[in-house]
Amino acid sequence: MPKKILMAGNIAIAEGAILAGCQAYFGYPITPQNELLEHMAKRMPEEGRVFVQTESELAAISMLYGAAAAGCRAMTSTSSPGFSLQQEGISYMAGAELPAVLVNVMRGGPGLGNIGGAQGDYFQATKGGGHGDYRLINLAPASAQEMMDLTMLAFELADKYRNPVVLLTDGFLGQAMEPVIIRQPVTELPDKPWAITGAAGRPKNVINSFEMEPANFQPRVSLLLQKFERIKQNEVRYQGIHLDDASLVIVAYGSASRSALTALKMARQKGLRVGLLRPITLFPFPYQILADLAQKVSDFLVAELSSGQFIEDVKLAVGLDKRVELASQYGGVPLAPETILETIERMSKVTIGR
């Protein structure tokens, strides 16, 4: 039987990376992801793999570029301010089509913010974040189990599409301990014939994100865009709860979706037909799933730990004729289920009166 243990989210990410065959980790300490780095400091050498505590987040992302270019499964982890520092390197990695896993355990912002959990890096993580035309695959776990499972998936998708993948989570999920079933380790890593591994006996490989001639560069960007289209076609993931009979649907991800689940249960006890749609991939966003839902549901409630970022994608999906309201906390404060429930009740009353 697989081992099941009580584990903090941050540790589940670290163990997930090791199970996925992560060969090199580079990171610089920042709360609330420190346990992840700490755990990697202990475990990676035990496994005979590379751990580097770098002198800065910039060094970490640059080392990650190098490791990925050399064909390694590699990862960095940080929290919001550190993720901002890494944006230049991330853009270069996207441009050079380098697979790697980037973990952002979000905290309150902007600026130095605070160490409470938050989701204020939504735009930055899902819309690119650095300069240029690119997207990152974004996975949003909602439990310690998913911290492990989606970290493993992140490595797989990064290699499949030769693109950086973000595990976008928050400080609350990083710190919370929950039961986790330990998955089987990945034993076979994919071949990377494009990697820089020494060109003896084969034509040389080139990894860069640069073309002197704009006209030559455009086709490269076009190839990237085609890749992002394939990702949109193939990789949308979500969880739906009580959607069949719902007259109001909460849309939430990450730790906000946990508060939403409790609010849903409270609302159902009051006889309100509430459902929950939880995107697991934030890019690709489940636009079509929401658009289909909007054919039969006209009330949507977005619960997020930011001041109205995620809601923009929901509005884009369901259309301007639907009612989309926001229940949020931001700046590092948890979202109480009662806050979501109040919005549900207010929306339900207005619906009855309509």
Partner 1 sequence: MHEELIIGGFGGQGVLFIGRLLAEAAFREGHEVVFMPSYGAEKRGGTVWCHVTISDEEIGSLFITKPTMAIAMNSASLIKLEPMMKPESLLVVNQSLAPQEISRADIQVVSVPANDLAAELGDSSVSNLVALGALLAGRPVVPLASLTTALEGMPAKNKELLQLNKRALEVGYTRAQKDAVPHGRR
Residues that bind partner 1 (CB under 8 A): 6, 31-32, 115, 171-173, 175-179, 255, 258-265, 334, 336-338
**What is the nearest approach in angstroms of partner 1 to the Cβ of residue 129?**
26
Give the CA count within 13 Å in the CB-facing half-sphere of 350.
11
**What is the nearest approach in angstroms of partner 1 to the Cβ of residue 259?**
5
Q: Give 302's strand partners.
A: 251, 326
Q: Which is nearer to partner 1, 105 or 224 (CB)?
A: 105
d(CA 343, CA 350): 11
CA 210 to each of CA 71, 128, 215, 216, 218: distance values in angstroms, whole numbers, following the listed order:
20, 18, 12, 10, 11
**What is the nearest approach in angstroms of partner 1 to the Cβ of residue 212?**
49
**Residue that is written with structure tokens 């490269």 in the block:** 220
d(CA 273, CA 113): 37
**What is the nearest approach in angstroms of partner 1 to the Cβ of residue 236?**
23
**What is the nearest approach in angstroms of partner 1 to the Cβ of residue 55?**
24
**What is the nearest approach in angstroms of partner 1 to the Cβ of residue 148?**
16
**Within a 10 A sphere around the Cβ of 244, how many other Cβ atoms?**
9
Q: Which is nearer to partner 1, 36 or 137 (CB)?
A: 36
* Main-chain phi, psi angles of 11, to 5 degrees: -70, -35
Q: Which is nearer to partner 1, 194 or 238 (CB)?
A: 238
Q: Which is nearer to partner 1, 178 or 345 (CB)?
A: 178
Q: Which is nearer to partner 1, 116 or 129 (CB)?
A: 116
- How big is the CA angle at 171 (ends 173 and 7), to the nearest 5 degrees? 40
Beta-strand pair 114-117/100-108: antiparallel
Q: Which is nearer to partner 1, 166 or 256 (CB)?
A: 256
**What is the nearest approach in angstroms of partner 1 to the Cβ of residue 143?**
9
Q: What DSSP string runs through 225-267?
A: HHHHHHHHHH---EEEES-TT-SEEEE--HHHHHHHHHHHHHH
Identify each DSSP E strand in the chain by its residue range.
4-8, 24-27, 50-53, 74-78, 100-108, 114-117, 137-139, 164-170, 177-181, 238-241, 248-251, 274-279, 281-283, 299-304, 323-328
Q: Which is nearer to partner 1, 98 or 277 (CB)?
A: 277
**Residue that is written with structure tokens 């249960």 in the block:** 265
**What is the nearest approach in angstroms of partner 1 to the Cβ of residue 79?**
12
Q: Which is nearer to partner 1, 83 or 172 (CB)?
A: 172
